[in-house]
Amino acid sequence: MLRRFPPKYATPEELPALQLKGLQWTVAHAFRNSPFYRRRLTAAGVSPSDIRTLEDLARLPFTTAEDLRDGYPLPLLSVEPREIVRIHSSSGTTGKRKILCYTRKDIDDWLHMFARCYEMAGLSPEDRVQICVGYGLWTAGAGFQLGAEKFGAMTIPAGPGNLDLQCTFLLDLQTTVICCTASMGLLLAEEIHARGLRGRLNLKKVIMGAERTSEATVAAIKDLLGVKEVYDIPGLTELYGPGTGLSCAHEAGIHYWADYYILELLDPDTLAPVGPGEIGEMVYTTLGKEAAPLIRYRSRDLTRLVEGACPCGCILPRHDRILGRSDDMVVFRGVNIYPGQVDEVLSRVDGAGSEHQVLFERREDGKDYMALKVERSGHIGESADIPLSRAIAGEIKRNLMVSCSVEILPHGTLPRSEKKTRRVFDNRRY
Ligand code: ZN
């Protein structure tokens, strides 16, 4: 299926050897050229010649966002500064910006990966791609833009916002593909719906990236635009940027480019690998990144691996949607609970709205209690509250292995925010 930007291996059996070769190269390169990595590896008692099998990955020390900050402005630098051709930067959720740098080869690799996304999403050179993400220091604009050019589609670098201009181009240029963040996608879909433009557009696909998506958003965008295909591109500035994987057309998870990086899923507390299908923190090791290679970089993002062969026939492995960040994890009666898990359960219960709050409390009996407040979805009446709360409590028990009380509230009761809405309140005193 992937003809021009195929995986660098032909069968799943060939992948470990390819990854080992890349791992050995990365460790040797980082040890030789980066004072930071040399210090870290030496402190861990590992030298490049110790990496003989993929299992030796577990001997390598971790790299974190703090390391990137400590090494500001050019952390993890492993080449001569004159070899750098590009800088990108992300604001990061706390403190200083993260700055990452790229050599010519790093950019070429990234664009190859991004072009693979477009190919896998079924685009052709006939497609007209309107790119509605931010350009500049952020990785999204450059990635979506240059990846689409490398692939060979017509590109329209519209940038974010400016709904008037977006609608004009969608109509006049008969755009077939929109690339955007999930929030921009929803905004644009609502605008097109409000203007009644749907029937005059030629839109076939939406590719979303650079933001955690939920099933509810994807469903709303499909519904408002009448578009059948919505793809999700995961991305992390530290790992090139967006374009390092793409959700499967069969909606069977996200294929990730395992020929460019190794993805480990580890328990954020013990840092041991999680079992099959269990949620873990995504930890990245790059296989050919020159300027700022990653060795066991802890992203704090959470997901689970999807096992087995994909019905679409693609041999690239899969992980699930990003379910949240390990910083947001709550430990309740010995069970790790991630906010994304609650989202996920509620999205499967008919009648539950998208807004909810999770409260944790310690009562006088000394025990911890979990309470869930959930809005009814718009079209549901009060009479369904009791079966609805039972259904939600049952699904939470089945999926998260914890008991909770559920209160159903009228639609529109809980606070909304344009930014990140706070939904988890841990009121226990420790
Ligand atoms: Zn697939």
Cα-to-centroid distance, 1 and ligand 1 (Å): 11
Q: Which amino acid is at 128?
A: R
Measured in Å, residue 314 CA sits from the centre of ligand 1 at 5
pLDDT of residue 429: 65
All residue ranges of the chain with pLDDT < 70 are 1, 91-95, 210, 212, 417-421, 429-430
Q: Which residues pair with 407 in a beta bridge?
A: 373
pLDDT score recorded for residue 331: 86
CA of 304 to the centre of ligand 1 (A): 16
* Stated pTM of the model: 0.86
pLDDT at position 1 is 63
Angle at 358 between CA 356 and CA 362, to 5 degrees: 155
CA distance 293 to 78: 7
* CA 61 – ligand 1 centroid, Å: 32
In the reported structure, the alpha carbon of residue 311 is separated from the centroid of ligand 1 by a whole-number distance in angstroms of 6
> How close is the Cα of 252 to the center of ligand 1, in Å?
6
List, as ranges, residues with CB under 5 A of the ion ligand 1. Answer: 248, 310, 312, 314
229 Cα to the center of ligand 1, angstroms? 14
Query: How far does the centroid of ligand 1 lie from the alpha carbon of residue 335, in Å?
Result: 31
54-58 long-range contacts (CB < 8 A, ≥24 apart) are 54/16, 54/19, 54/20, 54/23, 54/262, 56/23, 57/23, 57/262, 57/264, 57/285, 57/296
Burial environment of residue 55 by CB neighbours within 10 A (0 to 12, 13 to 18, 19 or more): exposed
pLDDT value of position 325: 82
- The pLDDT assigned to 28 comes to 98
pLDDT per residue as tens digits for the range 246-301 = 999 998 999 999 999 999 999 988 999 999 999 999 999 999 999 999 999 999 99
Task: Return the pLDDT at 52.
Answer: 98
Placement of tokens 């999770």 in the chain: 358
| Spacing, Cα 250 to ligand 1 middle (Å) | 6
**Phi and psi torsions of 235, nearest 5°:** -170, 150
Q: Residue 122: what pLDDT?
A: 97
pLDDT for the residue numbered 187: 87
